[in-house]
Structure formats: structure tokens, C-alpha cells
A and B are shown apart, each in its own frame.
Chain A
């Protein structure tokens, strides 16, 4: 039986700040989370996202986003109002916004969907996380640990 809560880190750890989602998952894995909370890394393909969160009580998704804000800024979004998800910097044609839209049309959203969008700076192949994004990833991991009662 799937855990009631899932934390999903979206992105590509080989592409600089696009790896922000994974960085949060790695940090959570190192710090530990309570039983009943599953940690998953994914490249953000919508079908995979929908599969990961369908039937869950709570899904927390962390993705790198680009909205023009300062790198490392956090966009905190929760359903309803998900239409405002800024397009991800995912390396693929469809991303989180599409996954939410398709899941909504199919009635496959989790009961609660919370998105932490971390504003990316550079997403150059082979680059490491930028300093502000690495700092934000740590802070988001801490927020998520508090939210899931760790």
C-alpha cells in the first residue's frame, strides 16, 4: 500500500539549479522522515507525477521554476489556485503545470497538493547548484520536515 504522504523532487541533478528538487530529497533522506512518508526523485514527466500522487492524502512537490524572481526565491503554491504554477525548467516538453492540469481533468489529484517552486539561476549541464539555490533547498527541506511532523 502506498504511503499516505509523498514528497516528489523534480528535475535533473546534472543541470545546475534544475537539480533543486533532487537536492531537497537528498537532504530529507539524510535527515530522515517519519514512516508513512515516501521520498521520490523524478525527471518530472507528467504521467509519472500523476501516477506518484494519485490516491495520496498529501503530495509535496519540489521543482525548479523560472519566473524572473531572484534565484533561490521560493514560490509556495497549494491547490486550489494551481493555475498559477510557473512553467518548470524541466528538460522535457511537459512539466508540472501540465501534470496538474491533466490530473485535474481526470480527477487524479491528491487530496492536498503543495508545490515548492525554487527559482533557478543557471541550469547549465554539468554545473553544481548555485549558492542561493542550495541554501533555499536546505530551508525547503527543513520546512517539509516540519510539515510532515519529523
Chain B
């Protein structure tokens, strides 16, 4: 099919399904080239940053947990650790292990939801999870079961399955008894088998050929797969402390979105999330997860956008396996939390939310009130990079008819697992090719 040169075409998706939240995307094509890609998102974190000013230093874990129903633990953990950083306190030992366990529960919930209910239908040719459930009942049941075990961890450590209420600055209101955690072991063992089965299942899917070629950014920990802490590293050579985030990254306002775009200072857009985390940390996976990754055909790095579903499945193995290890080594800490006294200072923290690096910064006054808060969720960090990559993606597929191209764009966007409810409310794809 030939198209007249010099004519502008716009592809639009006005209601992108199966992403977290809602938003929109516009691709403008002029002649044979992509002229512009805009992901339009509207961003709650800005509202929360305003809301946090003047509140007590103890409040951000509960307030920021409300930013997202999918990853409240990520917000709580980045908030707690940033405030503890400002107050000169490090929470380690069993309390840090409990935080990591809680976070594993959230990874399980979030990845099971994305792999089974949002992403798999694309590979199996269904419009959505309902249609898929009729033909793949066993798989959908497995997804539900995995998510349920994530809920059980959240309930045991966090006090309830969503929006945990047991988390506080310094640790927890109450530390679970070892017997409470050991009670999770039988279902976690089943969940680990289900996670391994998930890797085998998704490894058999057919993956379109499209590699992300930008800079990858994730945390890296000396001995563990990164979740709760680490140094910020990148495929381009960044190696920085969490507190040095502002020295390496900058946010800029764009007119088409209420989310700010992030860039690496002096470089450009970058990608956070499972692909980045895996590619920078494959050697930190547990032996079981590493074996599963190898059997699924993943190398030491993975840049194929669509194989991110395999990476998420491998991370499900890691999360279940790690949860079992933490429970095995758990002893009840003498105190459920360490004392944290406020002081006039600024604190920073990064953690690995299911969708990637989540940065929080708080400036506290001498009165213990928050003078300034900054929250940079993974999806807004990825936004500029998603736009850049989608431009490349569309450009190599311009001969496709509009509905097909739009559908492929939706699939590509879903592969990034954008959490538009963190970074906004999702997603209208507008492909304008007049």
C-alpha cells in the first residue's frame, strides 16, 4: 500500500485497555516518518507532593500508599527509608528482612496481575482476560493463586492485603511471630512451583522482534536481587548512591502531560523496570530463578520489549523463593521499630517498585514537619523513553493498516506495564495519519 508523501496521519488510541489506570497516546505520522509520539498522562504524585507539605514526618508512609492500589508497599518503603535517611537512622536486621518480605508479596501481586490478566491475552490472541479464561482456565487459576499468596504475605506482614496498615517510619507497629510467617510456607512452596510453571508457560509465547535500545537504570545491591535498596546503576555507566539521584537525573515539564518527563542529565531518556532490573542484575538472582531464566532462553541481559513478560515471570520465581528464604531465617526482632527522631535535614531513598525505580525525597524542618516532598514514580521516569521507543516501533511498521498498527502499539505499551494510576489515569492512543 502506498501513501501520499507529505500528508500527516495521526493514529489515536482513545481507550487503551489492560493498563493500570487510564490515559492516552497520539502518534503523528508525516509521509513515511513518525513526527511525534505523545503519551498523555495526568499525575497524582504532584497532588500528593502538595498534600504532604506541612504534615508530620511520620505520615508519608500512610499518605503515599494511597497513590497506587497496585504498589502501595513501594511507596511506603521509599517513604520510610527517605525519612529515616533524613533522620540519620538505618533500619537493618530482621526489620529490613520483613520489609523485603512485604515487598516480595507486592511483586507477586503486581506481576501475577500483569502477566496473567493484562499481558498474556496479547500473546494468546484474546481481546482480554475474560475471553482467555474460558479457554485457559488452568492458567488463569494459577495467576489467581499466585496473586492470592502475595495477598497472604501482605496480610501477614502488612496487616491487610491492600494498603498495608502495619508499616511505620522505623519499622512496623507489630512484628509478626515466627509461627505466623511459617504458616505461609506451604502456600509459598506451591506458589514457587506456580511461578516456575509461569516461566515455562510464557517462554513458549511468540515474541515480536523489537529491542529497546536506550539506557537502562536500576538499583544494584552487593549480594541480592535489588528490591529495597542499592546503588543506582545504568547500562551507560552511572554508579551512584540513592541520595545522588538529583545529581544524575532531571525532570522537565511537557505540555501534553501532567506527568513530568525524566532525563539523565547530559544524556536523555532512560528505562526503568523489569527489563532494566534484570539486565543489570541477572547475576544477583537466586540459583533457582537464574536456572528458570536460562531454561526460558533469557541471556544475561534482555532487551526484547515483549519478553518483559518472561522477565516478570522470572521475578515471580525470585520473589517466591526469596520470601521462603526470609521466612526460614526469620527471628522475631526485639522491637517492632527503631526510634526515629526528626531533625532539620533532607533524606532520599530509592526502591524497586514492581514497575521500576521509585525515588522519594523529603526535606524536614526542625519542627518535624515536611517542608518539601518529591516523588518520582517509575512510569513518569519511563514516559519519555516509551515515547521515543514507540516512535521507532511505529516507524518500522508504517505499512500496516491503521487498526492493526494501533493494536500493535497497544501491545507495545502494555509491555512497559505503565502504571498510569501512579503516573496518571490511562490511556487513549491517538494515531493521526489524516
Contact = CB atoms under 8 A, between A and B. Distances in A.
A91 B20 CA distance: 7
A106 B117 contact: no
A11 B69 CA distance: 10
Interface residues on A, range: 20 to 34
B133 A51 contact: no
Max count, chain B CB within 10 A of own CB: residue among A14, A42, A47, A102: A47
Interface in B1-45: 17-22, 44
Nearest to B19: A93
A91 B140 contact: no
A126 B426 CA distance: 18
B151 interface: yes
Contacts of A70: none
A101 B51 CA distance: 38
A51 B140 CA distance: 13
B134 A105 contact: yes
A48 interface: yes
Interface string A77-102: 00000000000000111100010011
A91 B118 contact: no
Interface residues on B, range: 20 to 34
Nearest to A94: B117
Interface string B122-146: 0000001110011001001101100
A91 B427 CA distance: 11
B426 A93 contact: yes
Contacts of A42: 162
B113 interface: yes
Contacts of A105: 130, 133-134, 137, 140
Contacts of A48: 147, 151, 161-162
Given A48-B162, A50-B144, A102-B129, A92 B134 contact: no
B151 A125 contact: no
A47 B162 contact: no
Nearest to A97: B130
Contacts of A92: 20-21, 69-70, 421
A45 B161 contact: no
A18 to B, nearest CB: 10
Contacts of A17: none
B66 interface: yes
Interface string B46-63: 010001000000000000
Contact of A125 (B44, B69, B143): B44
A98 to B, nearest CB: 6
A43 interface: yes
Nearest to B63: A14
A105 B136 CA distance: 10
Interface in B414-434: 421, 425-426
Contacts of B44: 125
A43 B162 contact: yes
Q: Is the interface of B mostly helix, strand, loop or mixed?
A: helix
B162 A94 contact: no
Contacts of A93: 17-22, 118, 426
A47 to B, nearest CB: 5
A92 B22 CA distance: 7
A46 interface: yes
A50 B117 CA distance: 13
B112 interface: yes
Given A12-B69, A91-B69, A105-B133, A51 B113 contact: no
B148 interface: yes
B64 to A, nearest CB: 11
Interface string A26-39: 00000000000000
Contact of B425 (A44, A91, A94): A91
Contacts of B128: 94, 98
B358 to A, nearest CB: 18
Contact of B118 (A44, A50, A94, A126): A94
Contacts of A106: 133, 137, 140-141, 144
Given A93-B118, A94-B18, A47 B147 contact: yes
Given A101-B133, A106-B133, 4 more contacts: A47-B112, A47-B143, A48-B151, A51-B144
Interface of B: 17-22, 44, 47, 51, 66, 69-70, 112-113, 117-118, 128-130, 133-134, 137, 140-141, 143-144, 147-148, 151, 161-162, 421, 425-426
6 contacts: A47-B113, A48-B161, A93-B19, A106-B133, A106-B141, A125-B47
